Amino acid sequence: MAQYQNVATPENGSRKEPHLQPLLLRMARREPGLLLGLVLLVFIFLVALFPGLFTQASPYAVDVNAAMMPPSAGHWFGTDDTGRDLFARVVYGTRITLAICGGSLLISAFFGGLLGLVSGFLGGWVDQALGRLVDVLLSFPPIILGVIITGVLGPATVNLILALSIVYVPVFFRIARAGTLSEKDKTYVEAARSIGISEPTILRRHVTRNVMPLILTQYMILFPLILQIQAALGFLGLGVQPPTPDWGAILEQGKDYILYAPWMSLFPGLAVLLAALSLMLVGRALQRRIDQR
Amino acid sequence: MGKYLVKRLAASLLTAFLASMLVFLLVRLVPGDVVAQMMGQAGGETAANALREFFGLDQPIYMQYLAWLMKVLQGDLGVSWTRGMPVTTMIGQAFLVTLEIGLLTLLVATIIGVPLGILAGIYEGRPLDTAIQSFNILGLAAPVFWVGLMLLVAVSSLFSWSPPLRYVPPTRSLGDNLAILALPILSLGLLQVAAYSQFVRQNVVSALHQEYVRTAIAKGVPVRIIFFKHILRNVLIPIITFMGLILIQILGGVVIIESLFALPGLGRLLLTAIETRDYPVLQGALLIVVVAAMVVNLLVDLAYRLIDPRVRVS
């Protein structure tokens, strides 16, 4: 190796390896929002994956003697009406809340995306019928749709996931359909067709691959919104039921004590805000990339 | 214009019809009806069946739907199963409350959000823009009901004041009415101010980068004239579309805010109807929500066509 070291190549001086540090610095200068969002998001994911690293307390341990204590060194976020440590509840709630929201959104991205792709690709009466159905779903404000479904089916985690999955299917459907419509007349599709590739393969291998980035971006954009809907449904008592430490459920519990123990509502709400904020910052940066393309 | 209007109306009506069918089915597909809830543990099979017959629940679903639809077309939404009042009366009262909240929120959000967005757009990239944009994203990320809760805490600890518990209609006392609605409107408004100002900023920025603006600057046209003639005019049109979006968002947001602040609006009516399985009220309230959203969309579309000749041509 050593013998080559002195050989001067034209790239030697100008080419730089992409180091992590300059990358972060450049990002901080050009897109401070994205950097902040990513840092927050990584932190939130760490909390979701390893809650035990952040707190020793149990989110379920009741201590009636320490009920409704304001935040202190022992209980950073204070305690709730049964003396449970709110910091532990918010920390352990991260995984539950994110899993429910992320999972539901994944289900709607899958079904909405699939239907949108097929609808846009096939056109004709399939497209007409599906488009009509989506119009009907879109005629309800999202939160109201969520309230009806969970309200009618009854408060349970499964129903919550079902409701949250349905709410944004129309949005994914529209995005995927529009993307498919603009892709399907492109030259590469024509070329694929002319060399005898079957329609399902074209849809799967060519069109889908180009529509995927749109769906992924939409996923990031809708994630903060679904977090808020989930929290709202939880707050109305239609979401995850106590004693599970879901953020919305904690907020619902704090509702009755809002003037006596505001910390019961402050911290879980702040958690929703921070999670939504980090996702929004990252989602916006992604959207800008897509728009620039 | 006339042809377009007819087509648009027909599409809206079809969607409303399908939406009403969906609501009707959804409500009835679920186990447990109002009769089961009314009877509780007590009462026998005969009594329950008699009640079901009274409510028409013994009929097949499509018959129930047709009967309901026929009445709706005549402007009769039925009678509440739990309160015995005509549904139209209940919805009429509740709708006025929600409408007041919605319009006042829209007003507040427009008055604050539009200037903020214009400022941010004009000072693109400067500290003021960064500050306004940071406020916007925080406003968008904060859950509406949580903002309401925090406002409640802030107001009661700072001024030791909390809003009256019982709703007062504006016809009885406008002052009391506004005192009750202030916090709900503020908490709903924060999100909308943020959304508004972000939207307006984007439009101002893109207008500023247009070539005719650059030409005007190069020609030495006074800034004031550029602002009013070239920028503001181009920003006003999208704002109208956005107003519609905001109004529909508010319509969704009031459900939680009304339940939080105990306001007898459409949202709370809806929630109570779900809890008590009061189908006529639930169906009626949902129908009104859907129709209201559609009317808003239709008005926005029409306004758009009236104001912007480019839309009419295409």
Domain locations along chain B: 87-313
| Total-model pTM | 0.87
Interior angle at CA A124, CA A122 and CA A129, nearest 5: 100
Judge: B256–A255 Cβ closer than 8 Å, yes or no: no
Give the pLDDT confidence of B134-177 residue by residue, as tens digits: 999 999 999 999 999 999 999 988 888 877 777 888 888 888 88
Tell whether the torsion through CA atoms of A115, A172, B255 and B304 is positive or negative.
negative
pLDDT value of position B244: 86
Among A144, A265, A276, whose Cβ lies nearest the Cβ of B252? Answer: A144
Residues of chain B below pLDDT 50: none
Chain B hits for A277, Cβ within 8 Å: 137-138, 141
pLDDT value of position A16: 53
Mean residue pLDDT of chain A comes to 87
Does A1 score more than 50 pLDDT? no
pLDDT band at A10 (very low <50, low <70, confident <90, very high): very low
Q: How far is B225 from chain A (nearest CA, A)?
A: 31
Among B145, B251, B293, whose Cβ lies nearest the Cβ of A232? Answer: B145
Any bridge partners for residue B86, and if so which?
A: B79
Interior angle at CA B256, CA A134 and CA A221, nearest 5: 50
Judge: B146–A265 Cβ closer than 8 Å, yes or no: yes
Residues 1-20 of B with CB under 8 A from A: 11, 14-16, 18-19
Set out the domains of chain A in order of their start, with CATH numbers: 97-241+283-292 (1.10.3720.10)
Residues 23-82 of A with CB under 8 A from B: 33
Chain A hits for B16, Cβ within 8 Å: 139
- Could you give the CA distance from residue A286 to residue A278 in angstroms, rounded to a whole number? 13
pLDDT value of position A4: 47
Any bridge partners for residue A85, and if so which?
A: A79
Residues 245-264 of A with CB under 8 A from B: 251, 254-255, 258-259, 262
- Could you give the CA distance from residue A88 to residue A96 in angstroms, rounded to a whole number? 13
Among A265, A266, A280, whose Cβ lies nearest the Cβ of B137? Answer: A280
Q: How far is B242 from chain A (nearest CA, A)?
A: 15
Instruction: From residue B225, give the alpha-carbon distance in Å to each of B214, B228, B302.
Output: 13, 5, 29
Judge: A276–B141 Cβ closer than 8 Å, yes or no: yes
Among A133, A152, A269, whose Cβ lies nearest the Cβ of B26? Answer: A152
Q: Which tops the pLDDT comparison, A103 or B214?
A: A103
- Could you give the CA distance from residue A275 to residue A223 in angstroms, rounded to a whole number? 9
**A–B interface: beta-carbon pairs under 8 A:** 123
Among B19, B30, B259, whose Cβ lies nearest the Cβ of A139? Answer: B19
pLDDT band at A169 (very low <50, low <70, confident <90, very high): very high
Any bridge partners for residue B79, and if so which?
A: B86
What's A59's DSSP letter? Answer: S
Q: Is the peptide bond before A268 cis (omega within 30 degrees of 0)?
A: no
Q: Nearest to residue B155, comparing CAs of B174, B179, B175, B177?
A: B179
Q: Is the ipTM of this complex over 0.85?
A: yes
What's A103's DSSP letter? Answer: H
Q: Does A271 touch chain B (CB under 8 A)?
A: no
Chain B hits for A133, Cβ within 8 Å: 18
pLDDT band at A289 (very low <50, low <70, confident <90, very high): confident
Q: How many CB atoms lie within 10 A of CB A190?
A: 11
The CATH class of B87-313 is mainly alpha
SS3 category, B86: strand
Contact B122, B208 (CB under 8 A): yes
Instruction: From residue B14, give the alpha-carbon distance in Å to each of A86, A285, B8, B122.
Output: 49, 39, 10, 44
Contact B167, B184 (CB under 8 A): no
Q: Does B269 touch chain A (CB under 8 A)?
A: no
Chain B hits for A132, Cβ within 8 Å: 14-15, 18
pLDDT band at A7 (very low <50, low <70, confident <90, very high): very low
**Percent of chain A whose predicted confidence (pLDDT) is above 70:** 93
Q: Burial code of A205-226, b = ≥16 C-beta within 10 A, e = fewer?
A: ebbbebbeebbebbbbbbbbbb
Give the pLDDT confidence of A15-59 residue by residue, as tens digits: 555 677 777 788 777 888 889 999 999 999 999 999 988 888 888
- Could you give the CA distance from residue A168 to residue A171 in angstroms, rounded to a whole number? 5
pLDDT value of position B209: 86
Judge: A265–B286 Cβ closer than 8 Å, yes or no: no
pLDDT value of position B312: 62
- Could you give the CA distance from residue A93 to residue A90 in angstroms, rounded to a whole number? 5
Does A232 score more than 80 pLDDT? yes
Among B15, B144, B260, whose Cβ lies nearest the Cβ of A136? Answer: B15
Q: Dump the DSSP string for B202-247.
A: HHHHHHHTSHHHHHHHHHT--HHHIIIIIIIHHHHHHHHHHHHHHH
pLDDT value of position A95: 94
Residues 119-158 of A with CB under 8 A from B: 132-133, 135-136, 139-144, 147-149, 151-154
Q: Does A281 touch chain B (CB under 8 A)?
A: yes
pLDDT value of position A38: 93
Judge: B19–A136 Cβ closer than 8 Å, yes or no: yes
